[in-house]
Structure 1
Amino acid sequence: MADGALIQSRYQLLELIGRGGMGEVWRARDESLGRPVAVKCLNPLGSRQEEPFLRALRERFRREARVAAGLQHRGVTVVHDFGESEGVLFLVMELLDGHNLSQLLTARGSEPLPAAEVVDIAEQVAAALAYTHRQGIIHRDLKPANVMRLADGTVKICDFGIARLAEDIGLSAKLTGAGMAMGTPHYMSPEQIAGTPLDHRSDLYSFGCVLYEIATGAPPFDLGDPWAILIGHRDTPPEPPRAHRPDLPPELEEFILALLAKHPDDRPEDAVGHARRLAALTAAPPAPLAPAGPYPAPGPHGTDGSGLPGGPRPPRRGTAAGLPRVPVPRPPERLPDWTRGMRAGSRASGSWPLRPPPPDRSAGLTGQWTGLPGRPDPAAQGHTALAQLPAEGAGPAPEFLAVLASRHRAGESLGRLGRWAEAHEVHAALASTRARALGEEHPDTLLSRHETAYALGRLGRWEEALDLFGRVAAARERVLGPAHPDTLGTRYQTGIALGRLGLREEALDLYGTLVVAWTRAEGPAHPETLRARHARGITLGRLGRWEEALSEAREVYALRARVLSPGHPDTLVSRREIAVALGWLERWEEALAEYREVRTARERVLGPGHPDALASRNDEAHCLEQLGRAGEAVELYRQVAELRDGTAPEG
């Protein structure tokens, strides 16, 4: 979607206000009712799946959206409308004036929120969850980014139903393939990690994780790597919040620890009642030491009612100034050796820009992964440590697949940061590990080899990249078929490598084959068809065939403007290629007009100081030089320099 787009002749998109893994959120105007709204546009479905799957997904979306629209509570974001526009599913919601809890923590430099504010948030979120749970609705992905604090102090939960849709769309495919449900690792319940059926008590555990973070500044298991975090949720009692922040009311600590019980049966039955009593109790100054809280008595599941398995709760530290600090016994180290020394990553987003060391395959994890924690499986009594690589004839263990998935995400994060040497090292090691565990031609192994080749290209090692892309493409064709999107994607990257090595005729032939394949599979206006045509046009230009390059650029631009919108970045790239071709054909006046249109659109959408907008000013200046208008060109170059230095107003 683009700025100014009109959805279903009713919702005018005005400003992009958020972007995430599921899609974009826009500030918009409901033209029919004349009111501001927020429009969440989910990422395009494309056609990577069979049409019956997409039909089922659209029906799931409609069902989940109707459920969300039926929720009427001051603590839940109101959904006004939903639908599909040009292949994009969208939700229309109330426009909220405020910030989510993740933003509030970031604004405070990760310092925790005031205790009174934490208690107020706890009471409001508990009431909203109690309402939705009475409707039989589970959120499944409660985290700070999904809880909004409005300007008037109201707290609202967002994105009910989105987590279930994310599972279906495939954003969590790597986790669900390992038997785990959708969720962000810092806030996932033990049963969610185990892949067992969920009920409302899973949301209560995530709620406890959220409260722990806003009360202390860090999630309960801030261990630096997704794998270590998951094991922390499963095996390790959380350190009492007052060990990090002694001024917290003891009743708040009791409430958080009760929510973080490892087994669902040990979490509060009436969270909203406890939250209200907490608000009443903390209206007075907190006592220096924690009394017994109003939480479950010793239960039948080997706990003392706190939800901490294995006996009495560790003694709490003193809270008032001058009181002795009673040491809290730490649980035994039960994480694999390779997790030690890893750096912390992003908490709320679930991404980890880190460089994990290679696995120590002699390290294991004691205990069963699947099933509920604290409930011994008689069949598993006396089992030995679980090796990271599967035994002969056995399938990979779910936790091992989770390790591999987390390392893949780490490699991707390193690439996004431009740290390509490290990204190459991570992907190459992961490809080797996946080959041993899953097979040389398993789709995940081939994915890692593709990412390794891509990193080689970004490092300028194009001959190695070309060789590896060729081998991956051949393997994907054997395993997935010649028309599979992954096969075609690798062949596209092969064309890039050929072009970089100056093998332009071969690249041109390859792009032409891809255009035919994508057109046959998806149609002439599909984004991948147009991407292949765009690359073919650039290659025609590099071969000096500028009339053909100009014709191709114009056709691709027209199709992208219709399919993606005139202001879409890909559309503007195609329009720039028109100007480039016109310049090489010495049609500089026409080229100048095209360059100016691109510059104007980029400045409107991205801002005058954005690198792409600055590049467009340079393009325009170069064109003016070719026309002999040196004075105007110098002025544009001066504007670019000032904007890059931050000395010019962006207007």
Structure 2
Amino acid sequence: MADTRLIQGRYELLDLIGRGGMGEVWRARDESLGRHVAVKCLKPMGRQHDPSYLRVLRERFRREARVAASLQHRGITVVHDFGESDGVLFLVMELLDGRNLSQLLEDNKQHPLPVPEVIEIAEQVGAALAYTHRQDVVHRDLKPANIVRLTDGTVKICDFGIARLGHDIGFSARLTGTGIAMGTPHYMSPEQIGAAGVDHRSDLYSLGCVLYEIATGAPPFDMDDAWAVLVGHRDTPPRPPREMRPELPEYFERVVLDLLAKDPADRPEDAADLVRRIAGLPSRRTGPAERRTLPEGRPRPYVRTSVRLTEPPRLPGWARNMSTGSKAAGTGPLHPPPDPSAALTGTWTGPWTGQWDKGRSTAPHTAGTERPPPAGLLAELAGRHSEGLRLARLERWTEAGEVLGAVVAEREQALGPDHPDTLASRHEYGFALGRLGRPADALREFARTAAGRERLLGPDHPETLAARQETAYVLGQLGRHFEAHQVYSAVLAVRERVMGPDDPDTLRCRHNLAFSLSRLGRLEDSYRMACEVAAARTRVLGTDHPDTLVSRYEVGYALGQLGRWTEALRTYREVAAARARVLGPDDPDTLAARYEAGICLGRLGHSAEALTLYRALVDDRTRAQGAAHPDTLRARHGLGVNLGRLGRWEEALAEARDVCAIRTRVLGADHPDTLVSRREVAVGLGWLGRWADALAVYRDVAQARQRVLGADHPDALASRNDEAHCLEQLGRAAEAVELYRQVAALRQTRSTRGHPRPI
């Protein structure tokens, strides 16, 4: 044949087995030993490809070869040789005479495999995984296409291209800082989806997905939308297999459901334990036998991830625009990923689109004779990016900001400002800055990320929209609600057009737009939109899904803003009860709903009931979050307010002073929460008739707010009004009138300078 040629003068390529954007697999003849083998080749890179990525690609390829070659087990594909010849990277493996599980299902017209074969496959794959896990190797991409059943019945695992050595901490559950996922959506574990720590139990989850599919004919979350698949893995208990195939043994179903536990701790201890449990099933040769009772699995319907305030929990950024990938029983399209090193393993899927090169930076380091950054530096930066994400998940924001800020600077120097890795780190750095109370700095980083992604990916790309949406969020933090509303509206229009009205990001954008509308004073519009989002999320995700409950929480807020406190109270109580069921009674979101219910009780004049609620809430938050946590202090503030409403001003003043002292120490003297507590001290002093002392505190608060927020900020103006009221109480009417006039003038200036009034 015309394509026949020799690799390294030894391997004669005969027949093409598979082809894709990054390489090919050939049946070949080993001229030295006279045997047939399979040779995986990576296509030569042209000059249009970034040399630095070729270096990373070579290292990933060698990594696959080293990991696979170190494994010697009848259930693992044997690797004979690897190297590079004339710019072509190649991997020589045993040639398997059989069909992978995906092909077996296709051969069976998508009907499930016979039960004895399913159990046989489960035992053999379990034994192979038990061996690899003892070698401290985690596969991380177990799926039907990577499991081959030979003609003699032997089952082998292949394609260890994204395998991870257990002691190798340089690689996380993501491929690189670009945010491209490691794994295939239909078989990914919840911890892979959440970019959390991945160990051997992730392989057990993936095996559970495979067994579920070959036993029922469909994967546990059989949807063509990647987002829906990922949400299913993260949040939804799988349907029991016997509901679709009653002849499956009950004990087999229990094993599969245990493998699919959301929490890794609820899965079998290891693959060896799995093999022992499978051995307790009826024999496929002798018929029913004595069975041992297996423990019931403990399905956990929701897995919580770290979420930002006032925003529903979301899937990680790398999952946006992700396709479902190949599955044994489905037709979801698989598009090649934009990171060349992601295409080292698995079935090749079609021609490379060149999308990665489209946005290549034109920074000096890529031009002319400049040397590209060494692969070691890129790997180090990817590891440090992942470390920054880990610190963020732990809410260690100061450390996360320091790490990510340094990575942004070094990636920009090494790769250019518009490189996807640079932009990924900049996006995460902006988020850390926002959580550190530096919204202006966060806005700068998000704006630069959005501009870079628009140049790289286009204005309608999900990653571009995500960065623009973050700019709107930070604009809201800065009190620039009209600008935030404009950005949210523009992003929402694109999301609805490109992704559809029920896409999770579309609904999240509508949720935030409702929040923005309330800050603009458009309370009826905010309430209506919040109700629409809650109804859509109920339809798409279910009544008790955390995202649905976030939207119902926003409905409660809008009702309160409209003065409909009885309805708001009922809504918050329903949300609190649902969150207690779904997330647990001590989850911060559950406690937040209880806090809002306390506010409603106070507004309705039920201060005694509110006081009882806040005392219990303070105890629960102290136990769950700590005595100095901002949320605990917020509950104590509410307790003090209701003591005052009951006329117990000495107690209220003591509580306000104590909370103010802790907030000053923990948050700083000029933090908004601290200033709220200082104002509450002044309120207590006033009610006790100590107006001179109250005036001094009111003035301190007004000056601090002017210094931090600006003289015409609404909070600063409110403090000046407090000061004027205090002057009136002291009989200093002329000073009070002059201060009222100053406040009115500042408000007029603010209005004419372009700050829109509520619409």
Q: TM-score, normalised by structure 2?
A: 0.40
* Greater helix share, structure number: 2
